[in-house]
Amino acid sequence: MARLSLSDTDKQARDWFHRTTTDLGCKVHTDAMGNQFAVRPGLKNDQPPTYAGSHLDTQPSGGRYDGILGVTAAVEMLKVLNDNWVETAYPVGVVNWTNEEGARFPMSMVASGVWSGDIPLERAHNLKSVIPANDTATMKTELERIGYLGDVACSWKASPMAAHFELHIEQGPILEAESRRVGVVQGVQSYKWFTVTVRGRDSHTGATSFQHRADALLTASKMILASHKIASKHSALASTGILTLKPGSTNTVPGFVQFSLDIRAPQDETVNAVEADCKDAFSALAAGENVLDINTGCAPSSRTCSVDWRTDFVSPATHFHDDCVACVQAAGADLCGSGDVNGKDVGAWGKLMTSGAGHDSVYANKRCPASMIFVPCRDGVSHNPAEYSSPEACADGANVLLGAVLRFDKL
């Protein structure tokens, strides 16, 4: 599965979503970020719907469950409600959020961020594609091209939600390792995305001594190592997923390198501390100083590099709403048959957990109660073609999603 946001294949998935939810009796509308909202009426329709949903876009290397499980399970919920003639007290909705991955347009959860009012529409519309390379498309031109620039404003006021529930694969190894069927997600860790630019000097690889170089790639390599050392020290994560350089020739020392830096930790303060330490270390490394014991063992160069930081995205730590967490927990206990459904204790079947990855529920949670359901995935692997959750795990998740929505509807 490689379905980059707003690509031709994403359009196919959106067409499927629109057709299927319409056929299931929903009213469907699309907003100015391409978010799709399908609403099934309830007995009383003077209150906003309780939503289930996630996203249908993927990373360049998949997988088939990340986001997709959450949308398909929500569509399945509509079928189950129809087949069983269930009338909910209030309307129930299914949402497909645009570009959750932040892979093609490098801001994750950007469309729920516009919906919640945290990200300006203009900024989101002007985001440039980073995949494929040299693509000049923006979110707006691609929304127009595939016919999904909706005429409803992208906002929590225009498309209000009573609550937002999201089923997702864990994307980590814990549930599998501990043989638990369901993760009751209480929150999401803090993260920030940066673009770091290192400028040195193009020079000849054969005729330029180490002492005369300003090697932007050697310097960036030291920075990547430094970011890992610093994150390790703070029990945080630091990762570089994109790196480009210029001019790109075997016998020219690169004078320009740009790379992404993704910093995460449970607490905002920890992310900020890693950022501050990295800023210090990168400046020192660009200036040719030996810090954190990172050096090449040769005399320092007489030329130095410069380093610039751009902050691309900030997602503070999120704590989901107690009511929604309780609905998920109770639905899990209903399915799995043990645990204290009213207290904070989860039975052997489940685990209270914090998500390492960001999700649209983060922004949804700013405008309505929200929570998430995790199911185990093989080997904890995600953003990878090998991503896999068993049919049984998917069914568990779908059942808990249905149960949580119905419980919230009753609330």
Ligand X SMILES: NC(=O)NCCC(=O)O
Which parts of this chain interact with ligand X (CB under 6 A)?
66, 100-102, 108, 204, 206, 251, 357-359
Nearer to ligand X, 36 or 108 (CB): 108
Q: Which is nearer to its own copies, 204 or 344 (CB)?
A: 204
Instruction: Using DSSP, state whether 12 is helix, strand or coil.
Output: helix
- Taking a C-beta distance cutoff of 8 angstroms, is the pair 363, 100 a contact? no
136 binds its own copies (CB under 8 A): no
Instruction: Supply the minimum distance, in Å, between the C-beta of residue 152 and ligand X.
Output: 25
Of residues 365 through 404, those in contact with its own copies by CB under 8 A are 380-385
Token pair for 390: 């068993």
- Smaller CB distance to ligand X: residue 100 or 142? 100
3-state secondary structure of 307: strand
Q: Which residue is nearest to ligand X (CB)?
A: 251
Q: Does 118 bind its own copies (CB under 8 A)?
A: no
Q: How far is the CB of 294 from ligand X (least distance, A)?
A: 27
Per the CB < 8 A criterion, the answer to whether 216 and 199 are in contact is yes
Which range in 9-17, 91-99, 203-211, 267-275 contacts its own copies by CB under 8 A? 203-211
Is 319 exposed, middle or buried, given 0-12, 13-18 or 19+ CB atoms closer than 10 A? exposed
User: If binding is defined by CB under 8 A, does position 176 make contact with its own copies?
Assistant: no
- The structure tokens listed for 251 are 């016998």
Shortest Cβ 384–ligand X spacing (Å): 11
Pattern 69-98, binding to its own copies, x per CB under 8 A? ------------------------------
Q: Which residues contact 297 (CB under 8 A, 6 or more apart)?
A: none
By DSSP bridging, strand 237-239 and strand 256-265 are: antiparallel
When asked if residue 221 is in the footprint of its own copies (CB under 8 A), the reply is yes
Which entry of its own copies, ligand X, none binds 350, CB below 5 to 8 A by partner kind?
Answer: none
Name every residue whose Cβ is closer than 8 Å to that of residue 23 and which is 6 or more positions away in sequence. Answer: none
Instruction: Please state, as a whole number, how many other Cβ atoms lie within 10 Å of the Cβ of residue 267.
Output: 14
Does 61 engage in binding with its own copies (CB under 8 A)?
yes
Q: Which of residues 312-331 bind its own copies (CB under 8 A)?
A: 312
Cα(288)–Cα(318) distance, rounded to whole angstroms? 39
- Residue 58 φ then ψ, to 5°: -135, 170
Q: Residue 263 corresponds to which amino acid? A: I
Out of 148, 191, 320, 408, name the contact with its own copies by CB under 8 A: 191
Cβ proximity to its own copies, 26 vs 265, nearer residue? 265
Question: Which of these segments, 16-24, 147-155, 334-342, 351-359, binds its own copies (CB under 8 A)?
Answer: 351-359
Residue 126 binds which of ligand X, its own copies, none (CB < 5-8 A, kind-dependent) = none
Binding to its own copies in span 12-51, by CB under 8 A? none
Residue in the block written with tokens 């249908």? 56
61 DSSP β-pair partners: none
Closest approach, Cβ 377 to ligand X, in A, equals: 11
Is residue 290 at the binding interface for its own copies, with CB under 8 A as the rule? no
- 363 to each of 187, 198, 381, how far by Cα in Å? 12, 33, 25
Tell me the closest approach of the beta carbon of residue 46 to its own copies, in angstroms.
39
**Binding partner selected for residue 186 from ligand X, its own copies, none, CB under the kind-specific 5 to 8 Å limit:** none
Structure tokens at 271: 């992310």
Q: Which does 24 bind (CB under 5 to 8 A by kind): its own copies, ligand X, none?
A: none
Q: Which is nearer to ligand X, 248 or 297 (CB)?
A: 248
Among 43, 247, 340, 345, binds its own copies (CB under 8 A): 247
Q: How does 124-154 read in b/e, with b if 16+ C-beta sit within 10 Å?
A: bbebebebeeeeebbbbbbbeebebbbeeeb
Nearby residues of 146 by Cβ (< 8 Å), 6 or more positions away: 6, 7, 8, 10, 11, 14
Residue 223 Cβ vs ligand X, minimum distance, rounded to whole Å: 21
